[in-house]
Chain A
């Protein structure tokens, strides 16, 4: 269950931002559409606990995120949330598999190399496991991005403009992949974007 109520955020010296309420009792994917400057990234950062909630509440599977201390929020995010970023960034000194193992380690989970390897293989990165991320194509980088997001079997997958830098073909591949893994893992999927191409692939959407 994902429930967001009366969420507001106020950057110093700027007008307060108001965000729509969300109530998702099941794990159906939700698209959040909004133009540039509408506060999409702020919305995502609030849900992910990267910004402190000033007003309102966010509840994920009976956990009230606004009540968690920063330290507990960090741990909660690592274990229960996966974030797909607009620009795929990785730890450049590590190869694809090592990036996966580090994410497991930082979430406080035991190293499960075979599982990490299996996820990479399932996303078509079998031959790239030992490659450094900078050697991957844009499409491969976005798949590795998704692999990192789903590695710890999160309850919520947050995707921030996951398709904006991709061509139509890769755009649909990435969206299908996100929907597939969220369904398979029974995770909530929240895609936040300004990319109108993705609108028809979601049955539920809200606007900022």
Chain B
């Protein structure tokens, strides 16, 4: 039986006050940890997906909606734009790459996106199995799609109209899986990719009866958005205002829209971090009250330990250890709670948008939180520990 074991036993011996201190601190740490993990997850997901694109061109509407739908694939499209707009951008000397996107259908809540193979290049998509689509109605599956839907090369399926389950099925046109992508931790993981023509083909079967001729049909062809990569900064400066002012379509800049988005989210994140800090401070007070109360109740015990040979420093260490152990227990429980919380929260975006928000690995800020908890534990136990060091043994034993 030594001082460390004794401090643990002392804490266990007061389950209510120790439990309350640990619970309070764990709530503070838990909320802080969840908030920074969410911020980190969102940041990294958005950064990974937006850094490859300088500008998004789509139908007029909310620019943030256009970015979220065309890049992150988590919102409804703002509408469609004529195919000619893509050709115009592709011919523009300031544009290095203009990638068409056509979407609006899904399969088991995973979006079917019609595009060309340069889309894979934006996110360094590599084939894990099979090959890239060559002709209409051939699809390549993102890594997560293949995993979740258990689809293999050669399998066929039909898409549904709309981006959520329950839309009309395009039963007369089946897609065939010709390739599966490696995991890229980008939006590619969540998509079913095919040619733009496939998307037209699926929809035109309904429309062709109404059209006067195939030529007229081809003239009316639309796409949903174009992802643009510029050759240099000149394009970034000149093209967006020109498109927004002189055409009936809109250009949105992902970097600018994401800053706007994070400005809004940032307020909520700062507020939650403040709440976590307040809880942590209250818990430090609780640790202090618990140890101070314990000191008053255990004065005779501490004097007794001095009689049996404990030095003043050992009593100081005993109370300091109790404070540190309380704060460490709160920290560890806080991390466990945060991981459980993140797991629960990640189920929602994974179901709705198929994004992973769970981050299990520790973040540098959690290292700082460990240091802060340690400091809180030490500060809260310092006064009781100093008082224990100065005990007058004879006086306490006489007054007992």
Main secondary structure of the interface of B (DSSP, over half): helix
Question: When the two chains form their complex, are residues A77 and B309 in contact, meaning their CB atoms are under 8 A apart?
Answer: yes
Report which residue of A51, A74, A78, A85 has the largest number of chain B beta carbons within 10 angstroms of its beta carbon: A74
Pick out which of these stretches binds chain A: B100-108, B375-383, B392-400: B392-400
A45: chain B residues within 8 A (beta carbon): 394, 397-398
Complex: how many Å from CA A106 to CA B313? 12
A106 touches which of B10, B298, B301, B308 (Cβ 8 Å)? B308
Within the assembled complex, what's the spacing in Å between the Cα atoms of A90 and B1? 14
Query: C-beta contact mask, A82-98 vs B, less than 8 Å → 1, else 0?
Result: 01010101111110001
Give residues 97-123 of A contacting B (CB, 8 Å): 98, 101-103, 105-108, 111
State the CA gap A32–B310 with chains docked (Å): 28
Enumerate chain A residues within 8 angstroms of B1, measured Cβ to Cβ: 94, 98, 101-102, 105, 111
Cα distance, A98 to B12, chains bound together (Å): 15
Which A residues lie at the B interface, using CB under 8 A? Answer: 41-42, 45, 48, 50-51, 71, 74-75, 77-79, 83, 85, 87, 89-94, 98, 101-103, 105-108, 111, 148
- Do B309 and A106 touch (CB < 8 A)? yes
Interface status of B6 (Cβ within 8 A of chain A): yes
What residue in chain B is nearest A97 (Cβ atoms)?
Answer: B1
A148 to B306 Cα, complex, angstroms: 14
| 24 A-B contacts (beta carbon < 8 Å) | A48-B307, A50-B394, A74-B306, A78-B308, A78-B309, A89-B300, A89-B301, A89-B304, A90-B301, A90-B304, A91-B301, A91-B304, A91-B305, A93-B6, A93-B9, A93-B12, A93-B13, A94-B1, A94-B9, A102-B305, A105-B1, A106-B314, A111-B1, A148-B308
Enumerate chain B residues within 8 angstroms of A98, measured Cβ to Cβ: 1, 9
| Cα of A79 to Cα of B308 in the assembled complex, Å | 8
B309 near A92 with CB under 8 A, answer no
Chain B interface (Cβ within 8 Å of chain A)? Answer: 1-2, 6, 9-10, 12-13, 298, 300-301, 304-311, 314, 393-394, 397-398, 400
In the complex, the answer to whether A74 meets B304 with C-beta atoms within 8 Å is no
Nearest CB of chain B from residue A127's CB, rounded to whole Å: 21
Contact of A74 among B9, B10, B311, B398 (CB under 8 A): B311
**Known interface pairs A89-B301, A94-B6, A94-B9; 14 further A-B residue pairs with C-beta atoms within 8 A, sorted by A's residue number:** A45-B394, A50-B307, A74-B306, A79-B309, A87-B400, A89-B300, A90-B301, A91-B304, A93-B13, A94-B1, A102-B305, A105-B2, A106-B308, A107-B309
Q: Which 3 A-B pairs have the closest CB atoms?
A: A78-B309, A93-B13, A106-B309
CA distance A91 to B8 in the complex (A): 13
Q: How far is the CB of A34 from the nearest CB of chain B, in Å?
A: 15
